Amino acid sequence: MFKMNALVPELIVTDLQRSLGFYCATGGFSVEYQRTEDNFAFLSLGHSQIMLEQDWHSESPWRVGPLQAPFGRGLNLQILCENANALAGAFEAAGYPLRRGVEDHWYRSEAKQVGQRNFLIQDPDGYLLRFFEDLGVRPCS
């Protein structure tokens, strides 16, 4: 059963169909629901959710200023995935370049380290995405 998360980012995109190709056909997201009359789609990947809406005019109440590529400057969205290597390979095979290749990182969280295998990629409008695979927890050395 579909349940909306407490926080779901909505991204303004320039071409909804192009974005759906990136997120769904290549990235493995599913369309939970879509309003074609609004050029809107609600997507999910595991427990991650995102909304996409095609930009429809400069007077939209959702715009807080002019949109300039790349969109989303200063923001990155971290998205849990099952296999970072496979997903990065799928994006590359589809012609989407990685901003940073797959790397393992360990981040300190109090007295432990949390591991991630992650990579960076920008979607067709430039939003920065960090897909990560959970590597577990280990004690700090």
Q: For the domain that residue 16 is a member of, what is the CATH number? A: 3.10.180.10
Residue 35, token pair as written in the block: 């309003």
Residue 115: is it exposed, middle or buried by C-beta count within 10 angstroms (0-12/13-18/19+)? middle
Average confidence (pLDDT) over 100-123: 97
Residue 56, token pair as written in the block: 């429809």
Say if 80 falls within a structural domain: yes
Give residue 99's pLDDT: 98
Say if 48 falls within a structural domain: yes
Question: Which of 105, 103, 72 minimizes the C-alpha distance to 88?
Answer: 103
Over the stretch 7-36, which tens digit does the pLDDT of each residue have? 999 999 999 999 999 999 999 999 999 999
Query: What percent of the chain is predicted at pLDDT more than 70?
Result: 99
Say if 33 falls within a structural domain: yes
Over the stretch 35-72, which tens digit does the pLDDT of each residue have? 999 899 999 999 999 999 998 776 777 778 888 899 99
Say if 5 falls within a structural domain: no
Confidence (pTM): 0.91
Say if 93 falls within a structural domain: yes
Say if 109 falls within a structural domain: yes
Total domain count for the chain?
1
